[in-house]
Structure 1
Amino acid sequence: MASQYSSSLHASTMFMALIILCMISFFCLPYDTLAIDAQTVIDSPLLTKKIGTNRTIKVDINGNGEFKSVQAAIDSIPEGNSNWVIVHIRKGIYREKVHIPKSKPYIFLRGNGRGRTAIVWSESSEDNVASATFKGEAHNFIAFGISFKNDAPTGIAYTSQNQSVAVFAAADKMAFYHCAFYSTHNTLFDYKGRHYYDSCYIQGSIDFIFGRGRSLFRSCEIFVIDDKRVSIHGSITAHNRESEKEDSGFVFLKGRVYGIGGVYLGRAKGAYSTVLFAKTYLSKTIVAAGWTNWSYAGGTENLFHAEYKCHGPGSDLNGRASWSKQLTDKEAASFISVEYIDGPKWLPVWL
């Protein structure tokens, strides 16, 4: 009996040792190897490695860094910066407005996680840009692990105190990884340029992702807040594309949409408004029509409001807007990769 027990214990020990060795082998794989696995989470060390810089400015609200303020750290970076600079924002709630001007590209804002590092302000305005908590106007920008929030109280609909933007993204080649965007109305002003959002959380009620950017939202969570102020349903997107010559559009790939109340996937903001939801989970918060042109006076013949292989109760096509499209594999192909935003030419990493 003792011999059998000893053999069993030895076998169990060997089995556990094998598991530990396998785990060590996996976690010691180079980042480049992990990056090609579709299940891999893009993390801060991987991004730091890819941009290839050792220059870091530490921001700590408790005084254990070079600055206590994010904006003070940004101000310390020289005009015309041409090399990547990491601004490491340690955990805490930084209650301030932050602006990265056009003259300061190649900045990487690295937080400690969107549940630990937050930039928060409270302002409503008739001017979307003026209300923004964070304004990014410099090309080649990265943010990781940060929550951006405008916590202004919900204003009266259709008044000057109704816009409360969390982020104004107004430059080319901007990437946000594992970030969160919070507001009620007009949360993310994706104004212009090529942008990439990976594994982000975006919350709002009406037009809360809007602008004329050419942007890919990959594996993002979109949470809808019910807006009780108005009788119309809210809309997740309001993409503004005025002409066929413009090269812009919002693409949502492999994420999920859920929340409270009814909402449209998007509304027309221009004659060529372009939005695609692809391989996305759509909860019952999506109303049957899916899309609306309620505030757009023009025709619908040039609108590109489309879906591709979505799933969930909100993907039911009964009652969909007549102009909306269901794409074929061939039609969707050019939209559902980082090639859509020329990603291989400028993104440090993608999945």
Structure 2
Amino acid sequence: MNISITTPTKRHALSFFLFSLLSLIFFHPNSFAQSFSALPPDITVAQDSTGDFSNITAALASLENTDSDRIIIFIRDGVYTEQILINRPNVTLRGESRKGTRIEYDIPRRHPEQEPAALGRGVVNIFADGIILENLTIENTYPFRRHTFALFGRGTLTLTQNCDFIAEGNDTVALWARGGGLYYHANCHFQGNIDYLCPRGWAYVTNSTFYEVDTRAALWHDGGKDPRKKLVIKDSFFDGAKNYALGRYPRDSQFYLISCRFSANTQDILDTNAPDKPTDDFRWGRRAFFHDCHREGGDAPWHANNLQEAAGAPAPKEITAAWTFDGRWDPERTDAPTVTEVRIAAPDRVVEVVFSEPVTVRGNPVLKTKKGQQLRWTEVNGTNTLTFALLNPNDIPASLTVEGGTIFASLPTTHPRLADLQLKPVTKKANRKKR
């Protein structure tokens, strides 16, 4: 079993050793099995100049921010002392190894005038949708307990897997899309001080480990203005300093903890901020739901099973990523994008192959016709439609293949989803008006 945990300081060394040992006991090895993307990278970053770029910032700067196809950036092992801004959608940062690929930065610096301008609050800053981070470590190396964001974001549809997020201060992972975003974390490690995992909106975490470096509250959730917002954590292990609080209520929140394990140091979610009467920030009262959670040294009443009190009284098996996101995103889906329609636009005789969702093209798609013609792709990438030109009169498309590549779903999921290229019967669009 591969549980990757970064020891924060010598002061925590013994606690962390016990934490790692307990994690190995509580979790079955198969629960951490990961299948990382088999898709080849588009860009390689290597500090020894054997890749396309020697730093991550330069690789990201080479991208066209208006494009929407998925770009995979492979980062070879090394310590990258950079503050990163991702403002182009559908980018994957994939490390060579979880321990070996490290993105580090000291924020806030002791000399604020030296900080890079307008990059964001964190070491890695996400200002676009559909970002994937996998197989790497992000650490804010600022040594004091202030707000020390490792991962900060305003985008939605953010997916992380097999990552460590490390800080000594507050708000280690703060994904704060305006109005609330959708965030998925699998096989990750979270470490920090108060509110070190603090999503706004909808978040799902599975097969992960948590460590609170102080006696403050580990979890925070902004569930305001929409009662469906929730933070769901399944099959995960929590530890920290003696008598630390599992979470707190600064505003409306909704916590689901399913089949989790707590060390003996773990205490209940704090309600110290909650008012006696409803307010704009506290409309729905305490919403902390547990099922099959256990605490080292003996269970406590505060984590007793109470799913029947949640809205809709969901059964444990219903609580999945898709359920968490209210059906708007399923990052664990495995179905293939399919062709839903093939259209011929007259008089230009342009052929449009429409897929069930946005797709990314790698290689050279070739549309072959019934009479043997091979139509050229127009290179419009990242949408749900591939366009080919020009079809001869009295001919129809017959098959779609890809030379030297593949077509796959652009949306972030835990596994790549290659497209099914089987064509549908042809339909004709209305004639375009001549100018």
Measure how far apart 1:40 and its partner are.
6.6
In structure 2, runs of 5+ residues without a counterpart are 1-28, 113-118, 334-410, 416-435
Query: How far is 1:55 from its partner?
Result: 5.1
- Structure 2 CA distance for aligned equivalents of residues 325 and 310 of structure 1: 8
Query: Hey, what does 1:27 align to over in structure 2?
Result: none
1:286-307 CA distance string (max 9 Å, x none): 12xx111223446475231221
Contact persistence 1:285–1:314 (CA under 8 A): no
User: How big is the alpha-carbon RMSD for the aligned residues of Structure 1 and Structure 2?
Assistant: 2.6
Q: How far apart in 1 are the matches of 2:276 and 2:163?
A: 36
Q: Which residue of 2 aligns with 1:326?
A: 306
Q: Is the 8 A contact 1:225 1:261 kept in 2?
A: no
**In 1, distance between residues paired with 2:183 and 2:298?**
26
Q: Do structure 1's residue 309 and structure 2's residue 295 form an aligned pair?
A: no
| SS of structure 2 residue aligned to 1:179 | strand
Equivalent residue for 1:273?
253
What's 2:128 paired with? 138
Deviations 1:167-209 (A, max 9, x none): 0132121110100100122111021311110100111121111
For 2:414, the aligned partner's letter is V
8 Å CA contact 2:165, 2:189 repeated in 1? yes
Once residues 98 and 314 of structure 1 are traced to their aligned partners in structure 2, the CA distance between those partners, rounded to angstroms, is: 42
**In 1, distance between residues paired with 2:166 and 2:31?**
26
For these two proteins, the number of residue pairs brought into alignment is 285
> TM-score by structure 1 length?
0.74
**Match of 1:308, as an amino acid?**
H
- Higher mean displacement: 255-264 or 307-316: 307-316
State the AA in 2 paired with 1:213: G
Question: Matches of 1:77 and 1:331 in 2, distance apart?
Answer: 44
Distance 1:202 1:265 in 2: 13
Q: Does 1:234 align with 2:230?
A: no
2:42 match: 56
Residue in 2 that maps onto 1:26: none
* Residue 293, structure 1, aligned to residue 276, structure 2: no
Q: C-alpha distance in 2, partners of 1:43/1:325?
A: 32
Give 1:258's aligned residue. 239
Contact 2:289 2:306 in 1 (8 A): yes
User: Aligned partner of 1:173: which letter?
Assistant: L
The structure that has the greater radius of gyration is: 2
Q: Secondary structure in 1 aligned to 2:248? A: strand
The correspondence for 2:84, drawn from 93, 98, 108, is 98
Partner Cα distance (2:34, 2:412) in 1? 12
Q: Percent identity among equivalent residues?
A: 19
> Per-residue displacement from partner, 1:29-71 (whole Å, max 9, x unpaired)?
xxxxxxxx96572232xx244xxxx551111122221111111
Where 2:59 maps in the other structure, the secondary structure is helix
- SS state at 1:80 partner: coil
Measured in 1, the distance between the counterparts of 2:276 and 2:85 equals 36
- Give 1:123 deviation, angstroms: 1.0
Contact 1:84 1:106 in 2 (8 A): yes
Q: Report the Cα distance in structure 1 between the residues aligned to 2:319 and 2:276, rounded to whole angstroms.
A: 25
Cα deviation, residue 333, structure 1: 4.7
Alignment-derived partner of residue 349 in structure 1:
414
CA shift, 1:331, in A, is 4.9
Aligned match of 1:335: 319
Which ranges of structure 1 fall in alignment gaps of 5 or more residues? 1-36, 156-161, 227-232
Q: CA deviation at 1:76?
A: 0.4
| Compared CA separation, residues 42 and 175, structure 1 to 2 (3 A) | same
Q: Is the 8 A contact 2:159 2:185 kept in 1?
A: yes
The reply on whether 1:43 has 2:43 as its aligned counterpart is no
AA of the residue aligned to 1:123: I
Q: Matched residue of 1:268: which SS?
A: coil
Write out aligned runs for 1:74-89 (5 A): 74-89=60-75
Deviation at 1:240, TM superposition (A): 1.5
Bigger helix fraction: 1
- Partners of 1:315 and 1:331 lie apart in 2 by 25
CA distance change for structure 1 residues 201 and 65 in 2, over 3 Å: closer, same or farther?
A: same
Give 2:239's aligned amino acid: Y
Which of 120, 125, 148 is the matching residue for 2:104? 120
Deviation at 1:276, TM superposition (A): 1.4
